[in-house]
């Protein structure tokens, strides 16, 4: 598409071709087959189910096995314009324009940015893995995107290897089991004393730690990674120290030697585009939206609403980083964009389920590690707890069960 055509293009523009972006396209097209839609994405725009990445290595699924439709084919089927391998460098919300540059241009540094106009804009750009200074990006993997997953899987295909995972939240804990099942030696390192400690109480997380360690995963809780370096044998030296240690002391860090390091220390929202658009956001929780319409809080014209959805969005200060609510969110955005009457989005926290076979963990409601957790059932095989709010109403319910023992 020429720059002249780009400048003339308007309608709905969506930034980001993950699950959230494609859900918005599906929702709009179910109600309006003709409104112009342009999808801008830094990758190929292929449709795939990202949660599958934490289980795919042990299943020997390659990126092409996970892709449900290529970006080109999906765009053709949905009758949209796909601008793949294209970065959004700026949002001019006053003039309702995006500044673009394509990664496929031969010399993008010396090429003027193209521009594209929009009537309505949807930010579905996701969030990015956190890389602390101690985790250099040129030595450490992340598996937040299918391309990086594919590159790591290629490296792991050579046979049994050793992997350190930094961060024992949901994703880190799931990847640890997946790699173990694929025959790799796994060390899981976290600042907290047990996995999922930022979400669940200590009584629960202690069970999770015991379960994953019983599989053969080494868990190092209460430690911070202080550095990752490559040695002369092309191995990685991972230095770590107790979280409460004095960094100024002469006490040396401990070190493990591994083939790969994976960062799973949480997500951040890139500041560039929200700042350019003049909309409220927090790097850790995401872009602030109106809970009923998913419109952003913008200082610019109310006739050109900017919406946000998925990993980059927050409601009432809480990040929305689960897949289950995306369809309802996308349907609300579609109705609002098309001017249809709608009841407004009602956020319902999804059931959170840890995809590990070593232990069954299910949570409903809005969990938080600290709070008034009350035990309802406690046995060797089962733990059920409720989190009560200040009014003694149930805010979250946690159910942990030991896996069923196969019959002889």
Q: Could you please report the per-residue DSSP string of 48-92?
A: E-GGGGGTTTTTT--HHHHEEE-HHHHHHHHT-EEE-SEEEEEEE
Give CA–CA dist 331/294, Å, rounded: 11
Residue ranges of the domains in the chain? Answer: 3-127+269-338, 130-263, 352-401
Which pLDDT score, from 0 to 100, does residue 160 have? 95
Positive or negative, the CA dihedral 147, 150, 155, 160 is positive
- 342 near 32, Cβ under 8 Å? no
Give CA–CA dist 241/329, Å, rounded: 42
- Strand, helix or coil for residue 153: helix
Please provide the CATH number assigned to the domain covering 352-401: 3.30.390.120
For domain 130-263, give the fold.
Answer: FAD/NAD(P)-binding domain (3.50.50)
Domain covering 3-127+269-338 assigned CATH 3.50.50.60 in the classification: yes
CB-based contacts of 182: which residues, under 8 Å, 6+ apart?
A: 57, 58, 60, 156
Question: Whose CA is closest to 120, among 293, 341, 282, 271?
Answer: 293
On the question of a common fold for 3-127+269-338 and 352-401, the answer reads no
- One digit per residue, the tens of pLDDT, for the chain of length 408 reads 444 444 445 799 999 999 999 999 999 999 999 999 999 999 999 999 998 999 899 998 999 999 999 999 999 999 999 999 999 999 999 999 999 988 765 544 444 568 899 999 999 999 999 998 999 999 999 988 899 999 999 999 889 999 999 999 999 999 999 999 999 999 999 999 999 999 999 999 999 999 999 999 999 999 999 999 999 999 999 999 998 765 555 556 899 999 999 999 999 999 999 999 999 999 999 999 999 999 998 766 555 689 999 999 999 998 998 999 999 999 999 999 999 999 999 998 899 999 999 999 999 999 999 999 999 999 999 999 999 999 999 999 999 999 866 544
């Amino acid at each position: 598409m020429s720059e002249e055509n780009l400048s003339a293009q308007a309608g709905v523009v969506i930034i980001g071709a993950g699950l959230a972006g494609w859900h918005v396209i599906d929702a709009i097209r179910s109600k309006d087959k003709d409104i112009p839609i342009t999808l801008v994405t830094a990758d190929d725009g292929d449709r795939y189910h990202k949660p599958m990445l934490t289980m795919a290595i042990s299943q020997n699924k390659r990126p092409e096995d996970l892709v449900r439709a290529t970006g080109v084919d999906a765009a053709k089927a949905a009758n949209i314009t796909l601008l793949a391998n294209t970065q959004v460098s700026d949002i001019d919300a006053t003039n309702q324009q995006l500044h673009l540059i394509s990664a496929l241009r031969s010399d993008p540094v010396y090429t003027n940015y193209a521009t594209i106009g929009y009537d309505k804009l949807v930010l579905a750009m996701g969030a990015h893995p956190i890389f602390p200074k101690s985790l250099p990006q040129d030595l450490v993997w992340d598996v937040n995107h299918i391309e990086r997953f594919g590159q790591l899987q290629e490296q792991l295909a050579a046979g049994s290897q050793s992997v350190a995972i930094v961060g024992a939240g949901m994703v880190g804990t799931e990847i640890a089991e997946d790699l173990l099942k694929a025959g790799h030696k796994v060390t899981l390192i976290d600042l907290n004393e047990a996995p999922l400690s930022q979400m669940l109480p200590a009584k629960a997380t202690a069970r999770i730690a015991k379960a994953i360690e019983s599989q053969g995963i080494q868990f190092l809780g209460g430690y911070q990674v202080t550095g990752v370096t490559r040695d002369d044998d092309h191995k990685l030296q991972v230095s770590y120290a107790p979280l409460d240690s004095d960094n100024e002391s002469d006490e040396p860090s401990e070190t493990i030697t591994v083939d790969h390091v994976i960062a799973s220390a949480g997500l951040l929202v890139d500041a560039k585009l929200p700042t350019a658009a003049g909309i409220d956001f927090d790097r850790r929780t995401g872009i602030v939206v109106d809970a009923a319409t998913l419109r952003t809080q913008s200082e610019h014209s109310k006739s050109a609403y900017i919406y946000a959805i998925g990993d980059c969005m927050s409601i009432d200060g809480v990040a929305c980083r689960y897949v289950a609510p995306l369809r309802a969110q996308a349907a609300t955005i579609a109705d609002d964009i098309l001017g249809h009457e709608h009841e407004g989005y009602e956020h319902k926290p999804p059931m959170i389920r840890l995809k590990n076979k070593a232990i069954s963990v299910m949570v409903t409601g809005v969990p938080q590690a600290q709070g008034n957790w009350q035990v309802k059932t406690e046995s060797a095989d089962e733990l059920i707890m409720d989190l009560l709010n200040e009014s003694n109403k149930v805010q979250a319910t946690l159910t942990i069960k030991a896996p069923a023992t196969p019959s002889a």
